[in-house]
């Protein structure tokens, strides 16, 4: 089976933002945290399992679209997402700690 | 000292070195170098997934119950509240980035010799994985320091 590179890139970007979103949501919503705990016994395991499932689901969805040549541009979007997502998570916990 | 932390750190750093290997193989690629790069990327991804499982098991069974309350009660609580919280979530990016590098190497195989754009893309991604993995190791050092400072404060 030939891998669809663009679908994989889009799926990775979606998973990165899903992790960032779940990280924030767990901190601000006790209900969401409790759903993750019920689903996987610990919220972090819940996020891990959901991220892995989401990668497969996103890939199956995005591979329906035609593979284009924009791999380098897509990789820059992945890198941008990693940097922005990482800085957002760090800034959120720093802000949370300073304002406690 | 805890064996699981050692295994987690060793797998994470070995995974980072595997992606450094990928990066070096791609600087001047030949058919055999690209084959080795694919093997290194697969190995690196497996090591990062292993670090994910072992670190996660330690985090859930030991850290949350024993280490976290001590750090939070010590002189450097930010090492948990900022550093651990950031580390445990940003780490989740790494196995997925590893899958992406392995996926691109497998998809384009020998095309990478002619296609400079995709080669550059894989080199940059591999470099990012190396930098992130070592940054995360640095965060592990900060967390250990927070724990040690809390224990020293209790003893003195």
Confidence (pLDDT) at A66? 82
The answer to whether the Cβ–Cβ distance between A8 and B103 falls below 8 Å is: yes
Indicate the SS3 state at residue A64: coil
Q: Which among B88, B118, B124 is the nearest to A79, CB-wise?
A: B124
**Tens digits of pLDDT across chain B (156 residues):** 689 999 999 999 999 999 999 999 999 999 999 999 999 999 999 999 999 999 999 999 999 999 999 999 999 999 999 999 999 999 999 999 999 999 999 999 988 999 999 999 999 999 999 999 999 999 999 999 999 999 999 887
B147 contacts chain A (CB < 8 A): no
Residues in chain B closer than 8 A to A42 (CB atoms):
60, 64
Q: Where are the domains of chain B?
A: 3-155
Q: Is B60 on the interface with A (CB under 8 A)?
A: yes
pLDDT band at A80 (very low <50, low <70, confident <90, very high): very high
Instruction: Identify the closest residue of chain A to B116 by CA–CA distance.
Output: A72
Confidence band (pLDDT; 50, 70, 90) for A83?
A: very high
% of chain A residues with pLDDT over 90 = 87
Q: Do A48 and B92 touch (CB under 8 A)?
A: yes
Give pLDDT, residue B31: 93
Task: With a cut of 90, say whether residue A68 has pLDDT above it.
Answer: no
Q: Quote the ipTM score.
A: 0.94
Q: Is the pLDDT of residue A90 over 90?
A: yes
pLDDT one-digit tens code per residue, A39-55? 999 999 999 999 999 99
Report, as an integer, the average pLDDT of A6-26.
Answer: 97
The torsion angle over the Cα atoms of residues A21, A54, A7 and B122, rounded to 10 degrees, is 70
| pTM of the predicted protein model | 0.94
Q: Quick one: pLDDT at residue A100?
A: 79
pLDDT at residue number A16: 98
Instruction: State mean pLDDT over A2-27.
Output: 96
pLDDT of residue B155: 83
Residues of B in contact with A41 (CB under 8 A): 60
Residues in CB range of B49: below 8 A, 6 or more apart: B95, B98
Taking residues A26-43, what's their average pLDDT? 94
Tokens 């670190």 found at? B55
d(CA A94, CA B105): 37
Tell me the three-class secondary structure of B79-147, residue by residue: HHHHHHHHHHHHCCHHHHHHHHHHHHHHHHHHHHHCCHHHHHHHHHHHHHHHHHHHHHHHHHHHHHHHH
What is the pLDDT at residue A2?
87
Candidate from A8, A85, A93 with C-beta closest to B85: A93
Which residue in A2, A78, A90 is closest to B86 by CB distance? Answer: A90
pLDDT at B87: 96
């Amino acid at each position: 089976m030939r891998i669809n590179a663009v679908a994989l890139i889009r799926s990775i970007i979606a998973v990165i933002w899903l992790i960032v979103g779940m990280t924030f949501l767990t901190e601000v919503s006790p209900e969401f945290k409790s759903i993750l705990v019920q689903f996987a016994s610990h919220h972090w395991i819940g996020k891990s399992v959901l991220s892995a499932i989401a990668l497969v689901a996103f890939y199956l969805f995005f591979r329906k679209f035609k593979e284009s040549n924009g791999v380098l541009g897509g990789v820059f979007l992945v890198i941008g997402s990693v940097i922005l997502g990482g800085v957002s998570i760090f800034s959120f916990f720093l802000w949370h700690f300073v304002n406690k | 000292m805890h064996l699981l932390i050692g295994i987690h750190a060793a797998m994470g750093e070995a995974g980072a070195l595997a992606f450094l290997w990928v990066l070096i193989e791609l600087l001047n690629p030949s058919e055999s170098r690209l084959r080795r790069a694919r093997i290194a990327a697969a190995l690196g991804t497996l090591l990062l997934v292993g670090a994910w499982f072992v670190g996660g098991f330690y985090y859930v069974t030991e850290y949350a119950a024993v280490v976290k309350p001590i750090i939070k009660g010590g002189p450097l609580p930010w090492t948990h509240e900022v550093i651990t919280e950031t580390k445990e979530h940003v780490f989740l990016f790494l196995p997925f980035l590893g899958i992406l590098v392995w996926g691109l190497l497998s998809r384009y195989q020998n095309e990478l010799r002619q296609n400079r754009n995709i080669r550059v893309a894989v080199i940059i991604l591999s470099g990012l994985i190396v930098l992130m993995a070592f940054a995360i190791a640095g965060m592990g050092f900060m967390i250990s320091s927070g724990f040690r400072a809390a224990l020293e404060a209790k003893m003195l």
